[in-house]
Structure 1
Amino acid sequence: MSTTTVDHPLVRCHLTRLRDAATEPAEFRILVQRLATLLAYEATQDLRT
């Protein structure tokens, strides 16, 4: 199983805000949803259509 590193500015920004203890739960949930969308795109970009 290979490991892929996603080096995207939005991913870094979302992860930074997720790691911040001051992030409110509502914002945390939104950030997780956005991050999941970005990671899903990265995970599927090499799939054939």
Structure 2
Amino acid sequence: MLGFKAFRCARILLSGIEVMHMIAKGQMIDGAVPKRSVAEQFYFLAM
């Protein structure tokens, strides 16, 4: 890997990876009815 071009890009990418891990572990409980899928939770957080 060549590395990141800017600190901002690295921060955004690593934050996304952390969020995906949290969702996969079930640590992101949003209280939505009906329950959202992993993809829907990620999309909701990204907006």
Give the TM-score category using the shorter length: 0.3 to 0.5
Query: What TM-score results when the alignment is normalised by the length of structure 1?
Result: 0.43
Query: What TM-score results when the alignment is normalised by the length of structure 2?
Result: 0.44
**Structure ranking higher on relative contact order (CA contacts 8 Å, 6+ apart):** 1
Q: Higher helix fraction: Structure 1 or Structure 2?
A: 1
